[in-house]
Amino acid sequence: MKFTVSGKLFSTTACLMFALSAPALSFAGDTIKFGIAGPHSGDLASYGLPSAAAAKLVIDKFNANGGIKGKKIEILQEDDVCKPEIATNTATKLVSSGVEVVLGHICSGATIAAMPIYKDANILVMSPSATSDELTYSGKYPNFFRTIAPNAAQSPAMIDFAIDKLGLKKIAIIHDKGDYGKPLAEGAKLHVEKKGKGQVVLFEGITPGAMDYSAIVQKIKESGAEVVVFGGYHPEASKIVSIMKKKRLDTKFVSDDGVKDDTFIKVAGDDAEGVYAAGPQDNSANPLALKAKEEYKAAFNSDPGAFYENAYAATVVMLNAIEKAGGSTKLEDLKKVLQTEKVDTPVGAVSFDQKGDAIGVGFSMYVVEKGKYVVVK
Amino acid sequence: MGLLKELKKGVLISLWFVFLTFPVMVIKVDPIARTVVWRWANALYMAVGTFFIYFLVQFFLRKKENRKETNDSKEQTLSFIHRILQDRLQRNILIGVVAVVAVFFPQFLSAYQTNVMTTALMYVVLGLGLNIVVGLAGLLDLGFVAFYAVGAYTYALLNLHFGLGFWAVLPIGGLIAATFGILLGFPVLRLRGDYLAIVTLGFGEIIRLILENWGQFSKGPSGISNISRPGFFGIEFSLQSSIIYTYYLMVLLVLVTIFVVNRLQDSRLGRAWIALREDEIACQAMGIDKRKTKLVAFSLGAFWAGIMGVMFAAKTTFVNPASFTFLESAIILSIVVLGGMGSIVGVLFGALILILMPEYLRALSQYRMLAFGAILVCMMVFRPQGLISNIRRTYTFKKKTTSSLCR
Amino acid sequence: MDYFIELLFSGLTRGSIYALIALGYTMVYGIIGLINFAHGEIYMIGAFTAFIVATVLSIYGFPLIAIVIIAGIAAVVWSSSYGYTIEKIAYKPLRHAPRLSPLISAIGMSIFLQNYVLLAQTSDFLPFPRLIPDFPFMEPIAHIVGSTDLVILVTTVIVMVALTFIIKFTLIGKAMRATSQDRTMATLVGINVNRVISATFIIGSGLAAIGGLLIASHIGQINFYIGFLAGIKAFTAAVLGGIGSIPGAVLGSLILGLTESFATGYVSSDYEDVFAFSLLVLILIFKPSGLLGKATNQKV
């Protein structure tokens, strides 16, 4: 055992304790332990629960067909409330109870915090929603995969749209200082500079939850920007949009995935009309996506929420990989399958590149028209 | 005779609560679909629930009063734990039991439980640190988390840029946090009570905002990941053993902290703090240097927070500014006050209860924070002096002199 | 110059928003010396009550003016009731407890109320109905001062004047001042201190409800968490102006609002809160009891 090295240095009792405390990790169990981690309570629960539901639906189907190679799949679900410091606890709990693959985490910050723990245990992790570039581009986490496009793809999508499609040059980039919005905004700024066509006239962070954004809206106006590119979530976006309307400012508003949420339209109401947002590519024509949606409706009698399709796809892909690897859950075996095989999922036919990003999953631009997000052709 | 009256009062109170909670509990509107749901059942639950809670509370209050009336002697008012601590034999037994539990904790419980316990122990040290500032010196500090953040980022940055290890940074983190404590202490020396509270709160926010906005320095909101775990003479641990190692490390740190704080409390400095807390002017009149005493309190409190910050960064291997919000300060303060200000055993209990409770209440997931808030209020209402209040060193005259002068 | 005026009014609006909440803070502090951390939550509950009542009425087809009046009254009534009840449950038993105990009780109450609304209603953001229409006569300057901004500014002034009047000239106001100066002495001259404290909580909470209604219709959205940040900022403003002083709370709020607005406009909104808190520290260093607070000499 590894601990014997330190045994010389510790007192004998300590050594005994260490040896005793290594739990017997059960690899040869009669079930495949499938971990689900994400926010399942708290104010961000609406981002995590649909994913957990998706995994359950898919796994129930597999189990109904006799599982994988005769083994049933067992779900272990843990809450991380999207907080990094809790996510490490969550991950430890999952690892120590012997999970073999993990769907999650949902928030980027929590995922980054939890990844080293999974990495040490050599466990495959697939997130339906964590978009931070660091997760795949840094190369630090060879066991990480995701079924959503990274931020690095989202910022250029927003900027290209604003400059090429809308034909606007003067860009104000605003972000919410958060771990999601700020890197997006920085990526956007970088892309404008690289592109050389547009010009960033304003780059600022706002305080999320503040009661009034009229000062920053006045500043946007003063900067003479033709378009506002916003990195952040929908509560701030809807406040800014409605203050812009109040101040009679008709600058175009282009935003991200965090705003491409129906709650944004509900809250901003009429002010939301004409707002552009990048979102996971449009799958409404994909029959598998429709079928997944039907399943959810049948089970819960409501429309699925955020990242449902991505989570559905991730579960399908992971279970398929385990099946193709002959029931093995070893990281190397699974990786080989993931990187070579294309699987049809609700987000399209998916395989993965060396970094862990899904090939063929990208962004589409949407616009609010008559209270609905529609794809910009 | 009183029963009917009591019943009537109970009914009236439950009706009041039904009225109070009516809009939020009963009506649920959907502004988009433009539908209204009237949840009358909730009003009924509310009425019945309040009625029973009212009588439960009355019952406890009665009991408390009865106890007060029957035995007013000093022996009885001492809490159970104090009685144990006063007796040498019992105290040794208690310490022995705690020690055995602490040593064998990781053996019988999973890594997850050990991890949670490590977190709780970290809050013990944080609580003891804040106890110096708030409990002993009586300076209300609402921005304690700032020093915690300073410590955590000291380690994160030194580890990132210079590859310094945990043991090298542990004292550095503490010292830098202590320096920040003095930096904060200087301008606020003149402030009293609640003005001090808001300035410290502001200080805590400023530190967090700088970490959030000054991206080149701190990597901004994305935080710093892949911080090394604590090492042991160059030995690399696996995750499992690292968790256990961290746990024992934390136990050791708690012991050191308790020892130091205990010695401080009884020292000349500790007495000066208590004098300062009780009466600033009288304290100055006794020839105590107010400036120095306050600054030392701030810096020593900050020192422990800094050390814990280093520990935090090493344990989670990831820091970002979102971990250091005002709520964190509020929780540390709650530990001190709930445990009993100025009492070391109290802080120990306070931290274990406040940190372990939400973790184990997780089964109740949704109602967890609701219960947490309610328990804080109830605790304060029923035991405002804290769970285990500090016993003042007292000296009683055996002679029958009236002591009205010494009041 | 236009830009300056625009920022000035942004700052004034923000300052008035803070003031509406800070007034309740400062009143409670003035009477019993307690930082009522749950005040932000009372503001949130006021806004939520207004939201629920207004939405129900609009679904049943009431005219706008009736909705505004009824929702306003409902918000004030319920917020005051909450304020009154919270004082009775969480603060009154602690009147002779150590100084920090009521503070922890207040923090606990604040966490409890947030989660109570979260569980009984929802965690989602909800659209707050637009209760203040665009006035036609404001249209030429709408890009500087909107209609809601105007209503908020005017309300703040009215509320401040009314409060000053109540405290200076009415019987209850006199009783409040007496209680805040010396509680024991007030009892001796026949003032029912418990009733005065209840009245303070009721008035303070009612103000928070008016604030909640106006602010929520200004920003157009609401959720269970809005009280927290609002509470902290309003508290900062109250201390800046000298906690316990009514004109001080308004002055402090306006200074805070203007600082944030100009910091955003001329420097960067990244650091608007840093500016706000640094200003607070600076002012308190030179005037340790706030701008309009009375420096009390401690008697031995």
| pLDDT of C24 strictly over 70 | yes
Chain C residues close to A177, C-beta within 8 Å: 270
What integer pLDDT is reported at residue A75 of this predicted model? Answer: 92
What is the pTM (predicted TM-score) of this model? 0.83
Q: Provide CATH code, domain A152-280.
A: 3.40.50.2300
What integer pLDDT is reported at residue B398 of this predicted model? Answer: 64
How far are the Cα atoms of A75, A322, A334, B81 from residue A63, in angstroms, in the given order? Answer: 11, 14, 20, 54
Residues 6+ apart with CB under 8 A from B209: B321, C271, C273, C274
Nearest CA in chain A to B231: A6
The span from the CA of B275 to the CA of B288, in Å, is 9
Residue of B195, B196, B284, B327 best to disrupt the C interface, most CBs of C under 10 A: B195
Chain B residues close to C89, C-beta within 8 Å: 377, 381
Write down the number of H helices and E strands in chain B: 17, 4
DSSP string, C198-227: HHHHHHHHHHHHHHHHHHHHHH-EE-TTHH
Pairing verdict, β A363-369 and A276-280:
antiparallel
Each residue of A66-97: pLDDT tens digit? 888 888 899 999 888 888 878 888 888 898 88
> Do C288 and B29 make contact, defined as CB atoms within 8 angstroms?
no
Contact B256, B274 (CB under 8 A): no
Q: Can you tell me whether residue A188 is helix, strand or coil?
A: helix
**SS (HEC) of A117-131:** HHHHCCCEEEECCCC
Residues of chain A with CATH 3.40.50.2300: 31-149+285-361, 152-280
Beta-ladder partners of A231: A175
Decide if B199 touches C, using CB distance below 8 A: yes
One-letter amino acid for residue A130 of the chain:
A
The span from the CA of B300 to the CA of B286, in Å, is 23
φ/ψ (deg, to 5) at B235: -85, 135
CB atoms within 10 A of CB B282: 12
What integer pLDDT is reported at residue A8 of this predicted model? Answer: 36
- List, edge to edge, every strand of the sheet that includes A101-103: A72-79, A31-38, A101-103, A124-127, A144-146
Give residue ranges of A with CB < 8 Å to any C CB.
42-43, 45-46, 177, 204-207, 209-212, 214-216, 218-219, 221-222, 234-235, 238-239, 242, 246-249, 263, 266-269, 271
Residue located via tokens 């105007």: C150
CB atoms within 10 A of CB A229: 31
What integer pLDDT is reported at residue C41 of this predicted model? Answer: 94
For chain B, which ranges sit under pLDDT 50? 72-76, 402-407
| pLDDT of A2 strictly over 60 | no
What integer pLDDT is reported at residue B392 of this predicted model? Answer: 67
The span from the CA of C231 to the CA of C222, in Å, is 15
Let me know if residue C267 belongs to a domain: no
**SS (HEC) of A276-298:** EEEEECCCCCCHHHHHHHHHHHH
Domain count, chain C: 1
> Do B35 and C59 make contact, defined as CB atoms within 8 angstroms?
yes
Chain B residues close to C107, C-beta within 8 Å: 330, 333-334, 376
The span from the CA of C219 to the CA of C157, in Å, is 20
Each residue of A233-265: pLDDT tens digit? 888 999 999 999 888 888 999 998 888 888 889
Identify the weakest region by mean pLDDT among B267-281, C133-147, C240-254.
C133-147
Mean predicted confidence (pLDDT) in C131-148? 84
Taking alpha carbons only, the member of C47, C85, C227, C60 closest to residue B18 is C85
- List, edge to edge, every strand of the sheet that includes A358-359: A343-345, A348-352, A358-359
Let me know if residue C249 belongs to a domain: no
Rg (CA), chain C: 19
Q: Where are the alpha helices (DSSP H) in C220-267?
A: 226-241, 246-262
Q: Provide CATH code, domain A31-149+285-361.
A: 3.40.50.2300
- In chain B, how long is the greatest CA-to-CA distance? 80
Contact B375, B357 (CB under 8 A): yes
Of B107, B112, B318, the CB nearest to A96: B112
One-letter amino acid for residue A217 of the chain:
V
Q: Where are the alpha helices (DSSP H) in B71-110?
A: 74-77, 80-86, 88-108
Chain B residues close to C78, C-beta within 8 Å: 20, 23
> Do C269 and A246 make contact, defined as CB atoms within 8 angstroms?
no
What integer pLDDT is reported at residue B70 of this predicted model? Answer: 61
> In this structure, what is the dihedral angle of CA atoms B218, B219, B221, B222, given to the nearest 10 degrees?
-140
Residue predicted with more confidence, C98 or B40: B40
Residue predicted with more confidence, C293 or B17: B17
Identify the weakest region by mean pLDDT among A22-26, A44-48, A135-139.
A22-26
Mean predicted confidence (pLDDT) in C63-91? 94
One-letter amino acid for residue C17 of the chain:
I
What integer pLDDT is reported at residue B297 of this predicted model? Answer: 92
Let me know if residue C84 belongs to a domain: yes
Q: Is the peptide bond before A105 cis (omega within 30 degrees of 0)?
A: yes
Helix axes C64-86, C39-59, angle to 10 degrees: 150
Q: Can you tell me whether residue B230 is helix, strand or coil?
A: coil
Mean predicted confidence (pLDDT) in C204-228? 90
What integer pLDDT is reported at residue B75 of this predicted model? Answer: 45
Let me know if residue C295 belongs to a domain: no
Chain B residues close to C298, C-beta within 8 Å: 280-281
Of B31, B373, B381, the CB nearest to C115: B373
CA angle B37, B40, B44 (to 5 degrees): 155
Helix, strand and coil in chain B, % to nearest 5: 75, 5, 20
What integer pLDDT is reported at residue B71 of this predicted model? Answer: 53
One-letter amino acid for residue C93 of the chain:
P
State the nearest Cα–Cα gap between C202 and chain A, in angstroms: 24
Chain A residues close to C146, C-beta within 8 Å: 246-247
Q: Can you tell me whether residue C133 is helix, strand or coil?
A: coil
State the nearest Cα–Cα gap between B403 and chain C, in angstroms: 20
Work out the pLDDT band at C137, boundaries 50, 70, 90: confident
Mean predicted confidence (pLDDT) in C137-142? 83
DSSP string, A207-226: -TT-S--HHHHHHHHHHT-S
How far are the Cα atoms of C6, C51, C194, C225 from residue C217, in angstroms, in the given order? Answer: 21, 9, 35, 16
- Per the structure, the complete domain to which residue C69 belongs is given by 12-224
The span from the CA of C200 to the CA of C194, in Å, is 10
Let me know if residue C182 belongs to a domain: yes
The span from the CA of A88 to the CA of A93, in Å, is 9
Sign of CA dihedral C145, C149, C154, C156: negative
Give residue ranges of B with CB < 8 Å to any A CB.
31-32, 103-104, 106-107, 110-112, 115-116, 119, 212-213, 215, 220-223, 225-226, 232-233, 235, 237-241, 243-244, 248, 312, 315-318, 320, 322-323, 359, 362, 365-366, 368
Residue of B19, B20, B21, B24 best to disrupt the C interface, most CBs of C under 10 A: B24
Of B32, B106, B238, the CB nearest to A120: B238
Chain B residues close to C127, C-beta within 8 Å: 31-32
Contact B376, B160 (CB under 8 A): no
Average pLDDT, chain A: 84
Paired tokens of B230: 């604590």
Decide if C236 touches A, using CB distance below 8 A: no
> Do A266 and C127 make contact, defined as CB atoms within 8 angstroms?
yes
The span from the CA of A43 to the CA of C228, in Å, is 14
Let me know if residue C218 belongs to a domain: yes
Work out the pLDDT band at C73, boundaries 50, 70, 90: very high
Taking alpha carbons only, the member of A273, C48, C13 closest to residue B26 is C48
Q: What residue ranges in chain A does DSSP mark as E strands? A: 31-38, 72-79, 101-103, 124-127, 144-146, 170-175, 199-205, 227-231, 252-255, 276-280, 343-345, 348-352, 358-359, 363-369, 372-375
How far are the Cα atoms of A21, A24, B104 from residue B114, in angstroms, in the given order? Answer: 10, 16, 10
